[in-house]
Amino acid sequence: MQQEPTKSALAPRATAHWLSRLQGLGPVIGLVMLCIAGTWLNSNFATPDNAMNVLTRTAFIGIIAVGMCFVIVSGGIDLSVGSMAALIAGSVIMAMNALAPMVSSPVMIVVLGMGLALVLGATFGMAHGLLITKGHIEPFIVTLGTLGIFRAYLTYFSNGGAITLDNDLNDIYSPVYYGSLMGIPIPVWVFLVVALVGGVILNRTAFGRYVQAIGSNEQVARYAAVDVDRVKILTYVLLGVCVGIATLLYVPRLGSATPTTGLLWELEAIAAVIVGGTSFKGGAGSITGTVVGAILLSVISNILNLTSIISVYLNAAVQGFVIVGVAFMQRGRR
Amino acid sequence: MSVNVEFDNVVKEFGSVRVLHGVSFSLEAGRTVGLIGENGAGKSTLMKILAGFESISSGTLRINGQPKQFVSSREAEAQGIVLIHQEFSLAEDLTISQNLFLGHEKRRGWLLDDASMQVESAEVLAQVGLQVDVNTRVKQLIVAERQMVEIARALLRKARLLIMDEPTATLTPSETKRLFELMVQLKADGVTMVYISHKLDEVKQVTDEVIVMRDGRFVAREDTQNVTRQQMASLMVGRELSNLYPPKAPHPATAAPMLKVSGLTVPGWVEDINFEVHPGEIFGFAGLVGAGRTELFEGLLGLRPRSAGKIELQGKLTDLGSPRAAAKQGLTYLSEDRKGKGLHVKFGLRENLTLMALERYAHPFLDTNAEKAALKIAIDDYGIRTGDLHRLASSLSGGNQQKLALAKVLHPHPKVVVLDEPTRGVDVGAKRDIYFLIQRLAQEGLAVVIISSELVELIGLCHRVAVMRAGRLQTVLEQSQLTEQELIAYATGTH
């Protein structure tokens, strides 16, 4: 029994292995095909300027999606990230404006503001994590609640209008979004760093392994002496910090926060994670896939903007077809 | 209406892996047939084909002489062929009655006829001897009761051919007895039965003939009365089985206890439990299902609240609040529920093996090569049979999954290990491997606690056995007192 069947089964298993790797490459292949199509449809698509433009726009959603990937892999979900980003943006701007008369160095104020964004993100994430684990409430419900709470408070603070950053401060702050290093915009660098760090944490640390173990089967993880609550809370903190990072990049872009800031970001971030091949049920996921998924979605809207084959108004529809299509291709993988 | 079944050169392939290599035999109406073989022999797959859960890759299945290809279990049920699953297929949030009629609901016009379904459910529950209200939700039932519900469902379908896959794995002796009485009654009604089990004494007891399968092939068919258990086991493994249990090492009671539990109470489950386990000792827990053995240890691990009790590990008083705390103190636990609590079946072998001792591999980044090396060592040490190292745990056979689960709970190098039903659903060959492994662990100085419903196993392996009944520790039997009669007497309270 030992020898013969193993041998005959080896060759097909090798092809199966190759096939599953190919399936993992699905989003990449999709992205490459989209880029070929884009280049063919409009000569402006394949320019460095346009590429950087797309990547800069992707940065916000992409950074959040990296954090979201952890939450989804652990079997959770966070619907509030868009509202959270809006509230963090508003709070940071208000805090910086309030500090302006007190602190002499504007650079210091900007640094404090950026720090505040991270602290707020981590705090909100911690609150989610605690409510979900210690409060035993479904993540969907908790974050559905905070989705409303965060945005309502921003609307309240802004009186329904805009909270705008002091002009002098904005001038100091704006390079964080508009500046570039070695020809690559700062947000793209940050996106790259976040993705690399995220990938290392998910695949090469004990925490990352625990996240996958919990998403794959929480009971088994608990019996295997994994501190399930702590790991889950940390995934939400991590996502909160990612939202903080995305927001501190976003603030200098417009220098203001309004009730529509970050609208539907949560759905775009979740879509990026899913398009990237992460299972919505948790357990298995990929940061690379998530990054590719985020880029793929913004390439779609970029191509629609550059060409006139499909109306820009149908952008969301095209993205929707892609999401459903990807889900269709991946069905039965788990 | 009786059912004659004939398998003719049946082949089944999953992708490129062939699990049935042209199986041919027939089942005569009204006979009770024991289908035996090691895990992975193809018994379950063949029966799933018969019951319409799997399709045939090539070959023919004939029912009463007519070639049939069932496309669904419903079609097979229409022919009176019903399979009772090894893993339960009940909807936990529905009531017993709703489960019994699931997919076959009675209607009155557009509405469900709950009243008449409940009446019929109550009748069939009485027939299997389950005294529970039909409106109880299935999630409130213990495992053995769920098994009876499964059987009741088969009766309700007016089964003419009943396939039972390890039906007694979770049943207590008295429930098993009741099941056997029911089988006698069904046989008298002319029902054909296929009985799949690793418990050869039961096969010997209830079947008319046995069919042995090995590696996806038909091996032998014998009248039950003409074969001994030993012969059955040898046919299953294809070689003479030497002694199943390793020779016992002398009892090391002189050393200070490794684990000492006093006055432990888990509200609603167990009360005032006292016992101690010494290094090098194999300490068994016997009892009926529901006696509170698993719950005792879940309480010990902090998975259930404790209201009283002292736990001493290596002479130090400790307060274990979670499996994590326990593992840090040197106590690990292997759950009886392998797929639900024991292994990540969708994880690779390596990830499963190292999960409980990941700190050893994180500096702070995981050293995958060290993990791979550890897996290679574990595969040799524990005799895990696998083609290559990159497979998922789910691709292993039951016995090899269990060996992997054992390797996993032992990977943190515990001082005390609690093994809950370590050989459940495992074939004879793997059982023997596991027994020898447990023996080796004890000889290396580990304190081993074994919870088991198989009395023979406890007697063959343990130095001492504690017997629990209704949440209380009845007695601790010394090696010289270990007999099946004694154990059963204490477990049932008839001592």
Contacts with B215 from chain A: Cβ below 8 Å = 1, 5
Cβ contact A60:A250 at 8 Å = yes
How large is the average pLDDT for residues A115-139?
95
A122 Cα to chain B: minimum distance (Å): 22
Q: Give the per-residue pLDDT at A309.
A: 78
Residue B2, pLDDT above cutoff 80: no
Residue A21, pLDDT above cutoff 60: no
| Secondary structure tally for chain B: helices H, strands E | 16, 22
- Quick check: B362 and A283 CB within 8 A? no
Nearest residue in A to B334, CA atom: A223
Residue B489, pLDDT above cutoff 90: no
* Helices A26-41 & A315-330 angle (0-180, nearest 10): 150
Angle at B351 between CA A219 and CA B300, to 5 degrees: 40
Asked if B215 is an interface residue toward chain A (Cβ–Cβ < 8 A), one would say yes
Establish if B324 belongs to a structural domain: yes
Q: Which backbone phi and psi does A73 adopt, to 5 degrees?
A: -60, -35
Q: How far apart are the first and last CA of chain A?
A: 29
Angle at A140 between CA A135 and CA A141, to 5 degrees: 55
Q: Are residues B88 and B152 in the same domain?
A: yes
B191 secondary structure, DSSP code: -
Which residue of A220, A222, A279 is the best one to mutate when testing the B interface, meaning the one whose CB has the most B CBs within 10 A?
A220
Establish if B335 belongs to a structural domain: yes
| The model's pTM | 0.76
Give DSSP secondary structure letters for A101-149: TT-S-HHHHHHHHHHHHHHHHHHHHHHHHHHHHTS---HHHHHHHHHHH
- Quick check: B340 and A220 CB within 8 A? yes
Q: Give the per-residue pLDDT at B65.
A: 87
How large is the average pLDDT for residues A277-283?
83
Out of A204, A212, A226, the one facing B365 most closely (by C-beta) is A204
The model's pLDDT over A200-237, given as tens digits with 9 standing for 90+, comes to: 999 889 999 999 999 988 888 988 888 999 999 999 99
Range of the domain at B341: 259-492
Give DSSP secondary structure letters for B64-98: TTEEE--SSHHHHHHTTEEEE-SS----TTSBHHH
Out of A217, A225, A284, the one facing B324 most closely (by C-beta) is A225
* Band (A279; pLDDT cuts 50, 70, 90): confident
Q: Give the per-residue pLDDT at B429.
A: 78
Cβ contact B72:B52 at 8 Å = yes
Copy the structure tokens of residue B53. 């859960």
B161 Cα to chain A: minimum distance (Å): 32
Q: Are residues B482 and B394 in the same domain?
A: yes
Fold of A43-330: ABC transporter involved in vitamin B12 uptake, BtuC (1.10.3470)
| Distances, alpha carbon A201 to alpha carbons A10, A271, A324, B362, in Å | 33, 21, 29, 11
Q: Are residues B263 and B233 in the same domain?
A: no
Q: Are residues B211 and B282 in the same domain?
A: no
**What b/e sequence results for B365-394 when a residue is b if at least 16 CB atoms lie within 10 Å of its CB, and e otherwise?**
ebeeeebbebbeebbeebbbbbbeeeeebe
* Band (A323; pLDDT cuts 50, 70, 90): confident
Which comes out higher in pLDDT, residue B78 or B251?
B78
| Distances, alpha carbon B43 to alpha carbons A194, B416, B487, in Å | 51, 36, 32
A105 Cα to chain B: minimum distance (Å): 38
How large is the average pLDDT for residues A11-21?
49
Asked if B338 is an interface residue toward chain A (Cβ–Cβ < 8 A), one would say no
Q: Give the per-residue pLDDT at B495.
A: 67
In whole angstroms, give the CA distance from residue A186 to residue A81.
22
Give DSSP secondary structure letters for B31-72: -EEEEE--TTSSHHHHHHHHTTSS--SEEEEEETTEEE--SS
Copy the structure tokens of residue A1. 């029994």
Q: Give the per-residue pLDDT at A14.
A: 47
Q: Which helix (H) or strand (E) holds A18?
A: helix A3-24
Q: Give the per-residue pLDDT at A10.
A: 39
ipTM: 0.76
Q: Give the per-residue pLDDT at A22.
A: 56
Contacts with A285 from chain B: Cβ below 8 Å = none
In whole angstroms, give the CA distance from residue A277 to residue A286.
7
Residue A9, pLDDT above cutoff 70: no
Which comes out higher in pLDDT, residue A18 or B385?
B385
Residue A19, pLDDT above cutoff 60: no
Residue B160, pLDDT above cutoff 70: yes
Out of B215, B335, B342, the one facing A1 most closely (by C-beta) is B215
Chosen domain end from B237, B268, B284: B237
Q: Give the per-residue pLDDT at B127.
A: 84
- Quick check: A224 and B362 CB within 8 A? no
The model's pLDDT over B89-119, given as tens digits with 9 standing for 90+, comes to: 788 888 999 888 887 888 888 888 888 999 9
How large is the average pLDDT for residues B352-368?
89
Q: Give the per-residue pLDDT at B1.
A: 58
Q: Which backbone phi and psi does B284 adopt, to 5 degrees?
A: -100, 155
CB atoms within 10 A of CB A158: 20
A240 Cα to chain B: minimum distance (Å): 23
Cβ contact B390:B376 at 8 Å = no
* Band (A83; pLDDT cuts 50, 70, 90): very high
Q: Which helix (H) or strand (E) holds A321?
A: helix A315-330
Copy the structure tokens of residue B85. 């699953």
Out of B16, B351, B355, the one facing A12 most closely (by C-beta) is B16
Asked if B370 is an interface residue toward chain A (Cβ–Cβ < 8 A), one would say no
Copy the structure tokens of residue A126. 């911690």
Q: How far apart are the first and last CA of chain B?
A: 47
Query: SS3 for B365?
Result: strand
Q: Which backbone phi and psi does A103 adopt, to 5 degrees?
A: -100, 130
Task: Give which of B24, B2, B30 is closest to B11, Cα–Cα.
Answer: B24
Which residue of B39, B355, B371, B420 is the best one to mutate when testing the A interface, meaning the one whose CB has the most A CBs within 10 A?
B355
Strand B17-27 and strand B5-14: the pairing is: antiparallel
Copy the structure tokens of residue A31. 């992205």
Q: Are residues B226 and B276 in the same domain?
A: no
Q: Which residues are bridge partners to A205 per DSSP?
A: B365
Contacts with A17 from chain B: Cβ below 8 Å = 390
Contacts with B303 from chain A: Cβ below 8 Å = 222-223
Residue A332, pLDDT above cutoff 60: no
Give how far the C-alpha of residue B143 lies from the chain's centroid of Cα atoms, to the nearest Å: 11
Q: Are residues B431 and B310 in the same domain?
A: yes
Cβ contact B466:B476 at 8 Å = yes
Residue B45, pLDDT above cutoff 70: yes
Q: Which residues are bridge partners to B113 per DSSP?
A: none
The model's pLDDT over B337-354, given as tens digits with 9 standing for 90+, comes to: 888 888 888 888 999 999
The model's pLDDT over B323-339, given as tens digits with 9 standing for 90+, comes to: 998 998 899 999 888 88
Query: SS3 for A290?
Result: helix
Establish if B254 belongs to a structural domain: no
Q: Considering chain B, what percentage of its residues have pLDDT values greater than 90? A: 26
Highest average pLDDT, of A321-325, B198-202, B412-416, comes from B412-416
Out of B341, B368, B388, the one facing A220 most closely (by C-beta) is B341
Q: Are residues B34 and B162 in the same domain?
A: yes
- Quick check: A213 and B17 CB within 8 A? no
**Which one-letter amino acid corresponds to residue B354?**
T
Cβ contact A188:A55 at 8 Å = yes
Report how many Cβ contacts below 8 Å link chain A to chain B: 94
Range with lowest mean pLDDT among A72-81, A127-136, A314-323, B2-11: A314-323
Residue B15, pLDDT above cutoff 90: no
Asked if B297 is an interface residue toward chain A (Cβ–Cβ < 8 A), one would say no
Out of B327, B344, B361, the one facing A213 most closely (by C-beta) is B344
Q: Are residues B228 and B263 in the same domain?
A: no
A16 Cα to chain B: minimum distance (Å): 9
Contacts with B16 from chain A: Cβ below 8 Å = 9, 12-13, 16
A98 Cα to chain B: minimum distance (Å): 41
Establish if B249 belongs to a structural domain: no
Task: Give which of B293, B286, B289, B287 is closest to B269, Cα–Cα.
Answer: B293
- Quick check: A220 and B343 CB within 8 A? yes
Give the CATH number of the domain where residue B222 resides: 3.40.50.300
Q: Are residues B108 and B190 in the same domain?
A: yes
**Which one-letter amino acid corresponds to residue B430?**
A
* Band (A315; pLDDT cuts 50, 70, 90): confident
| Lateral strand order in the sheet of B209-214 | B81-84, B161-165, B192-196, B32-36, B209-214, B217-223
Q: Are residues B229 and B273 in the same domain?
A: no
Q: Give the per-residue pLDDT at B209.
A: 93
Q: How many domains does chain B have?
A: 2
Q: Are residues B440 and B304 in the same domain?
A: yes
Give DSSP secondary structure letters for A213-248: HHHH-HHHHHHTT--HHHHHHHHHHHHHHHHHHHHH
Residue B372, pLDDT above cutoff 50: yes
The model's pLDDT over B233-259, given as tens digits with 9 standing for 90+, comes to: 778 877 655 577 888 777 776 778 899
Q: Are residues B396 and B265 in the same domain?
A: yes
Query: SS3 for B5?
Result: strand
Give how far the C-alpha of residue B204 lies from the chain's centroid of Cα atoms, to the nearest Å: 19
| Distances, alpha carbon A309 to alpha carbons A37, A301, A312, A316, in Å | 12, 12, 9, 15
3-state helix, strand, coil split of chain A in percent (to 5) is 75, 5, 20
Contacts with A198 from chain B: Cβ below 8 Å = none
Q: Which helix (H) or strand (E) holds B474?
A: strand B472-478
In whole angstroms, give the CA distance from residue B356 to residue B132.
40
Which comes out higher in pLDDT, residue A66 or B151?
A66
Q: Compute, in degrees rounded to 10, the torsion defined by CA atoms A150, A152, A155, A158.
A: -60
Nearest residue in B to A9, CA atom: B17
Q: Which helix (H) or strand (E) holds B192?
A: strand B192-196
* Band (B185; pLDDT cuts 50, 70, 90): confident
Establish if B253 belongs to a structural domain: no
- Quick check: A223 and B17 CB within 8 A? no
User: Which residues of A lie closer than 8 Å to B, measured between beta carbons?
Assistant: 1-2, 5-6, 9-10, 12-13, 16-17, 200, 203-206, 208-210, 212-213, 216-217, 219-227, 283-284, 334
B414 Cα to chain A: minimum distance (Å): 12
Out of B341, B346, B358, the one facing A216 most closely (by C-beta) is B346
Give how far the C-alpha of residue B303 lies from the chain's centroid of Cα atoms, to the nearest Å: 22
Asked if B369 is an interface residue toward chain A (Cβ–Cβ < 8 A), one would say no
Contacts with A227 from chain B: Cβ below 8 Å = 322, 324
Nearest residue in A to B356, CA atom: A224
Asked if B327 is an interface residue toward chain A (Cβ–Cβ < 8 A), one would say yes
| Secondary structure tally for chain A: helices H, strands E | 15, 4
B350 Cα to chain A: minimum distance (Å): 11
Q: Give the per-residue pLDDT at B86.
A: 61
Query: SS3 for B230?
Result: helix
Asked if B37 is an interface residue toward chain A (Cβ–Cβ < 8 A), one would say no
Give DSSP secondary structure letters for B102-162: TTS--EETTEE-HHHHHHHHHHHHHHHT--S-TTSBGGGS-HHHHHHHHHHHHHHTT-SEE
